[in-house]
A and B are shown apart, each in its own frame.
Chain A
Amino acid sequence: MATSSEGVWRVSSCLPKAYSGVLNYMTNLLHGIDRLFDLFFRLMKPLPALAVLTVFAILTAAFSLVIVRWTSNQKAIRKIKDSIGAHVLEVRLFSDQPRVVLRAYVGLLRSLSGYLLCALPPALVLTLPLLLIFGQLEDRFENSPVTPGFDFLVSASLGSGDSLPDVALRLPPDLYQTAPAVRIAPEREIDWRIQAKRSGVFDLHLVLQGQEISKRVVVGSDASSIAPRRVVGNVLQQIMSPSEPPLPHGGSVQQIQIQYPARLFDVGPWRVGWIAPYVVLTIIAALLLRKPLHAEI
């Protein structure tokens, strides 16, 4: 398993001190959050994935409502919502009077702008924590682990240069290459076809000009976190892929990607990714919880 220190030490050597400090802090923080989520997921292991997603949707909704309640002008939101309702009814009640209808419509647009403006402060406050939650959930719900005995691809994207450098792939004993590496020069990409003998979490290593970079692979395991990519890091990338540290800046490798199969949920007649049910469930939970939590949204 990749350690957090590996990438960060190298990153910090290439970047201004302050930025590397931020990245260090961020890596530690994300690592902490990652462990916290691991703990949550371990506790909820007996539950089906959709139930776990529902629990997170409810928690997200409750957390967001509390933030909305404390960071927005609740009285103003209530007033603006009433005004929106009044304008909608005005259009219906006085539909015989075009002047009233037009005026109501203009009033409605004004009220809607006010409503969105009122929603902006909580949106600003919620952005960072929700991105953190999203990053975690994406790592855990976006992909399924690869299956033992089935091929999967490992791709490395390399930085600009005249020719593709020699990159060696060092595999643990339970993983083996099923085809020679494919080098796509125009794309500056090298692909390997790999198979796993058994389930587990493994680290494969790319060796390039004496530099060794690892990438975690989850095979048929019930590990909660599956990060498909490891990329050259910045703050946003770290938030989005929190379970592995970013690749060092200035290195030749820009990204290592494992082609995991997508994880789909059965929702009635549909098979959908995690984001749609999560968004719908948070909205439903928020609507149900807004009264008990006294939050106007």
Chain B
Amino acid sequence: MSEVSAHAAHHAPPQGFIRKNVFSLDHKVIGKQYYGLGLLAVLIGMVLSWAMRIHLVWPNAAIPLLGKIVPTGAPGGVITPEYYLQLMTMHGTLMVFFVLTNVPFAGFGNYFLPIQIGAEDMAFPRFNMMSFWVTFVGFCVLVAAFFVGDGPALSGWTAYAPLSALPSAGPGQATGQTLWAVSIAIFCIGQLLGSLNFITTTLDLRAKGMTLMRMPICTWAWFITSCIGLLAFAVLLPACILLILDRLAGTSFFVPSNLVVSDQLITQHSGGSPLLWQHLFWFFGHPEVYIAILPAAGIVSHILITSYRRPLLSHKVVIYCMMAIGFLSYMVWGHHMFLSGMNPFSALVFSFPTLVITIPATILTLIWIGSLYGSNLQVNSASLFALGFVSMFVTGGISGFFLAQPSIDVYLHGTYFVVGHFHMVMGVAAIFGMFAGTYFWAPKMFGHMMNETLGKIHFWGTFVGTYCIFMPFHYLGLVGNVRRYSAFVDDYLAPLMPVHKFITFAALFTGAVQLIFLFNLIYSRFKGKPAPDNPWHATSLEWSVPSPPPWNNFGGRHPVVYHDPYQYGIEGSTGDYVMQDSPEQIQTVRDDKKLP
């Protein structure tokens, strides 16, 4: 069988609306489905955060319509303390699992990884379709918690046992918490299928000439992330299974003896270890931070190089740093548990690799910033968001130095300092990566250019807005403002209310700015200027195919790769760049150095 016919047999062209758009085997459609699901989840998560912020600063104010939608959680429109925690749980779970994991990794990764390595599709298209629909079912199960019994769980996105293991532990801890555990277990299965596909595709389906080091940095980031995800979700899944058994089958994995809940002695369970849940959860939970941030870092690197019109200072070092971060991410989970009651000596053991992991992260940052020097920066919405990512990553990362030290973390861990830290470094930074990716790749995905003016307004509004929200959190934490309280009625917290009001106004403003993005995305999708094949004069393979690409990506053609991924700043026949699949020989390289 010839090479071409072997590829063509991968799967047949889709026929009919359902096969093309719903149960599609096409990795591009699946990528867009993940993106759409992430967009829906982020909108719900953002509205929940608004409700929480409004309640925090006006605890007795009735939020219009809320009383009718949730009569038990918000009687008369006023959120109860328990419902505040339920909103917080859903906000965290939606954002971490269904936004930060879905969009930069599963969404963009699904769409662009096969094209960037010159493949026709993923290695297992049916598994790929299954991974999305399994994830979608997980999303539906989670959101269903809003509509059952006394609402969703209130134990936070970390679902600490025994609070999460006992249905009698509070409102939402019955059906709501069960739905949470089932949803996350389903989500894990979807992610495992996705990771399996990403790894196999990267190893086996690369085009001729596409060596591992010739893969673009974002392809590397998706590959490393899928390796992290494969091992991390394989641990969260057993944890969820054990939690579900504790809740439904009467086992005692996480519930200790002699526990009194709501004035009732728990007699059905005994001898379990609450700490065991924390270990299992955070063994997943910390790598999850990198599952969110590494794809964004890869996307941003890819965009920055195109915008700088030169490669980063070292392609290999960037990849090795991402590998080091992925590896170290499995050694630091205990730094989330300095206050958990584990052996204090282990705090030192976890503190050290936590500080070590800042080294590759710092090198990455220095390379992103250092490569800017002497570059020919093209300022557009994508590059602005990419630089914004670097800013958020640095700001959030610096506060990590403090939290990595057990003695300081003991004071800061229960405060808004931690909220500011992880929102900056994991949440906002990854979301900036998503925005950068959207502005950069939307022309390829939808075939239309996005509006640049609206994009720049969106950037500046979001950039200023997020700093206004999350920088004051650090101050609040330093002065002792505890987190997870639904209202600040203590005397020592009352003077901080103006800061909280400022944050709430900033959150409402930043949320409103996102409507500009939404409008731009939808309007451009239909009315935007038609996108050429390579609007950014970029070098990687996704820009060698039409916008949007045909169902089999390269139209039956099999690209051959001749060059490293980022041949910018050179004399090519097309300008200052040479595409990866261009057979032309490069005579000179950037900075007038001769090729060896």
Q: Do A and B bind each other?
A: no
B residues with a Cβ closer than 8 A to A are none
